[in-house]
Amino acid sequence: MTLLAYDALSVTLPAMARPILDGIDLRVRAGEVVALVGESGSGKSVTARAALGLFPDGAEVGGRVRVDGTDLVGADAASLREVRTAKAAMIYQDPRAAINPVRRVGDFLTEPLRLVHGWSKARAAARAVDLLGAVGLPDPARHMNQYPHELSGGMLQRVVIAAALTAEPRLLLCDEPTTALDVSTQAEILAILGRLQRERGLGLLLITHDIELAAAVSDRIYVMYAGRIVETAPVGELFASPRHPYTAGLLGSSPPLDGPLDRLVPIPGAPMGLLESAPGCSFAPRCRFAEPGRCDQAPPVLRRHGPAEVACHRTAELAGASAAPSPASRQEDR
């Protein structure tokens, strides 16, 4: 069952040369972990926030974003509230920014249940203690009485995850949920998210700039560049044969989790800002396969190529060629 569906979602701000989001198509089904990967400024957070019906002020929005069937584009207040309080929850990068520093952890967890869902104090507290245990906090009852500054960043992110689960949403949106944490805490938080996702059959959209991390935890990956999806495929397929030159570049420039860092090949050039636009493929100015007179003419659309969908004018020709360092040659490079 599809929990989250974007259909040709576009978000445009006046006075910008290109849309922030340009025709996003994306699906997250129940029980599935889907990663959205791309460089800073590519539009990942704007995409995630759209799933809660949050759009930049003054933006013109086209297309649809449906959560469990409810379209959030132009939705009325009651539908928005239902999605935000009961169907979908967001976990952000910095847990300290998500929690009121002068309220106790217990209040943070129980207030929405009491105020929005009308639960009694005792029932809400019992659920909060259960959830703190479920996210692996060792002494849930004690943590209920603590203030945020008494907890480490990793513990606090667990509290935020517990809070996201209080209303039993089916869809979890995680925007760089581990970026502010040290590496071992990152791994713990990802393990907790993975376990909760499996146990509860949640749909999970994981946003990250780190394609190796995305590969470690997700079923499918969407690769985003300058407000467009340029490739999507099941994880194994994307790693074994990236078809878009940008995906290949991300794989080449992403630190191999178990290898030396000295052979990384950065993608040359810089991502396209909102004040720049290109008539053709947005990646063409940085692409070593770009063909003048073709790639710079019209934007490529997503087309199916085997198990993947790719937006590149040259996918068919590059297939089997060296659009990417193959896994074997990457291995040799190390």
Ligand X SMILES: Nc1ncnc2c1ncn2[C@@H]1O[C@H](COP(=O)(O)OP(=O)(O)OP(=O)(O)O)[C@@H](O)[C@H]1O
* Distance of closest approach, residue 13 Cβ to ligand X, in angstroms: 6
* Distance of closest approach, residue 68 Cβ to ligand X, in angstroms: 23
Q: Which does residue 42 bind out of ligand X, Mg ion, none, counting CB within 5 to 8 angstroms by kind?
A: ligand X
Q: Which does residue 41 bind out of ligand X, Mg ion, none, counting CB within 5 to 8 angstroms by kind?
A: ligand X
What DSSP line would sit under 187-223, residue for residue?
A: HHHHHHHHHHHHHHT-EEEEEES-HHHHHHH-SEEEE
The binder of Mg ion chosen from 12, 42, 45, 178 (CB under 5 A):
45
Instruction: Rank residues 38 and 53 by Cβ distance to ligand X and give the closer one.
Output: 38
What strands, in cross-sheet order, belong to the sheet with 303-305?
Answer: 88-91, 171-175, 203-208, 33-37, 220-225, 228-234, 308-310, 303-305
Q: Which does residue 80 bind out of ligand X, Mg ion, none, counting CB within 5 to 8 angstroms by kind?
A: none
Tokens 């009121």 correspond to what residue? 100
Q: How far is Cα 25 from Cα 49, in angstroms, rounded to an integer?
A: 15
Question: What is the number of other CB atoms lying within 10 angstroms of the CB of residue 194?
Answer: 16
Q: Which does residue 197 bind out of ligand X, Mg ion, none, counting CB within 5 to 8 angstroms by kind?
A: none
Q: Buried b vs exposed e over 294-325: b needs ≥16 C-beta within 10 Å?
A: ebeeebbebeebeebbbbbbbbeebeeeebbb
Instruction: Rank residues 179 and 297 by Cβ distance to ligand X and give the closer one.
Output: 179
* Distance of closest approach, residue 176 Cβ to Mg ion, in angstroms: 6
Tokens 């005792």 correspond to what residue? 122
The answer to whether residue 42 forms part of the interface with Mg ion (CB under 5 A) is: no
Instruction: Rank residues 108 and 246 by Cβ distance to ligand X and give the closer one.
Output: 246
Q: How far is Cα 194 from Cα 190, in angstroms, rounded to an integer?
A: 6
Binding site for ligand X (CB under 6 A): 13, 20, 38, 40-46, 56, 209, 274
Q: Which does residue 46 bind out of ligand X, Mg ion, none, counting CB within 5 to 8 angstroms by kind?
A: ligand X
The answer to whether residue 218 forms part of the interface with Mg ion (CB under 5 A) is: no
* Distance of closest approach, residue 188 Cβ to ligand X, in angstroms: 22
List interacting residues with Mg ion (CB under 5 A). 44-45
